């Protein structure tokens, strides 16, 4: 089935835009980062050493997850437990990027990700959707924004939730995660050779969405 891929670093707006595009097309959405986050959370819950590739790979292989979509609300279950909010913390994101370089972990999650596109068209967002998981996708986007802009967006989000924020600490987390994602050997974060590059630093969500929609509508 057809797939549109959106890759890029954390905080560039991939989540919001892939969801808008999936709604526009009435296609399924694959948030591949959620799979890495779920794997990280399972590693934590089972007190596995995140440096032990074999043990982490076993967790990835047997990951018991369910995505339940009811009344347009997505609930994510890990071993039957609702972890929809828990996987969104910075701590889980950091752990996800520490286990994501393992080849065997990526291999286990690869098959799961491809299975999503077996029976339905898909908008897939992540780091290697266009380069590794769906290399034949007819439209690929690489969405980025400067680290400063991404950190500022995160600060605003957290402030809206009434949480304390520390811009410098958030910026450092973003830079460290970018560094791990871009410099690993397996499926590093980079644009596919045929990806459309979008720098959203000076664009709002609506502008990026309109641009993407135009590109997608061209393929009919
Ligand atoms: O996109 P998200 O921030 O949820 O991803 C969390 C982490 O999972 C990323 O920093 C990255 O290390 C890993 N990831 C990956 N490949 C993907 C999606 C996410 O390595 N396709």
If you take atom 4 of ligand 1, which residue's CA is the nearest one? Answer: 33
Q: Which residues of 86-125 are buried (b: 16+ CB within 10 A; e: fewer)?
A: bbeeeebbebbbbbbbbeebbebbeebbeebbeeeebbbb
Q: For residues 220 and 72, what is the distance between their CA atoms, to the nearest angstrom? A: 26
Q: Binning pLDDT at 50, 70 and 90, where does residue 71 land?
A: confident
Q: Please give the distance, rounded to the nearest whole angstrom, from the Cα atom of residue 9 to the centre of ligand 1.
A: 8
Residues 122-139 have pLDDT tens digits of 999 999 999 999 999 999
Query: What is the distance between the alpha carbons of residues 44 and 36, in angstroms, rounded to a whole number?
Result: 12
> Band of the pLDDT at 73, cuts 50, 70, 90?
confident
Maximum C-alpha span of the chain? 48
Give the binding-site residues of ligand 1, using a 6 Å CB cut-off: 10, 32-33, 36-37, 93, 96-97, 100, 126-128, 177, 181
Predicted local distance difference test score (pLDDT) of residue 163: 86
pLDDT-derived band at 157, boundaries 50, 70, 90: confident
Give the model confidence (pLDDT) of 16-60 as tens digits: 999 999 999 999 999 999 999 999 999 999 999 999 999 999 999
Distance CA 65, CA 39 (A): 9
pLDDT at 220: 66
Report how far ligand 1's centroid is from the alpha carbon of 36 (Å).
6
Using the mean position of ligand 1's atoms as its centre, give its distance from the Cα of residue 126 in Å.
Answer: 6
Predicted model pTM: 0.95
SS3 (DSSP) at 162: coil
Burial, 44: exposed, middle or buried (Cβ in 10 Å; 0-12, 13-18, 19+)? middle
7 C-alpha to ligand 1 centroid (Å): 10
Of all protein residues, the one whose alpha carbon is nearest to atom 2 of ligand 1 is 33
Nearest CA residue ID for atom 20, ligand 1: 100
């Amino acid at each position: 089935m057809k797939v549109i891929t959106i890759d890029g670093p954390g905080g560039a707006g991939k989540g919001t835009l892939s969801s808008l595009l999936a709604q526009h097309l009435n296609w399924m959405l694959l948030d591949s980062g959620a799979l890495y986050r779920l794997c990280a959370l399972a590693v934590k819950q089972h007190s596995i050493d995140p440096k032990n590739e074999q043990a982490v790979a076993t967790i990835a292989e047997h990951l018991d997850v369910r995505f339940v979509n009811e009344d347009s609300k997505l609930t994510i279950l890990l071993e039957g437990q609702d972890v929809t909010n828990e996987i969104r913390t910075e701590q889980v994101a950091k752990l996800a990027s520490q286990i994501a370089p393992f080849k065997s972990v990526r291999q286990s999650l690869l098959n799961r990700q491809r299975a999503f596109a077996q029976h339905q068209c898909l908008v897939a967002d992540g780091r290697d959707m266009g380069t590794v998981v769906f290399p034949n996708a007819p439209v690929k986007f690489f969405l980025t924004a400067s680290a400063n802009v991404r950190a500022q967006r995160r600060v605003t989000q957290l402030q809206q939730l009434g949480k304390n924020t520390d811009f410098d600490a958030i910026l450092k987390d973003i830079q460290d995660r970018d560094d791990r994602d871009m410099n690993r050997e397996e499926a590093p974060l980079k644009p596919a050779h045929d990806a459309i590059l979008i720098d959203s630093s000076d664009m709002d969500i609506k502008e990026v969405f309109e641009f993407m929609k135009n590109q997608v509508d061209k393929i009919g």
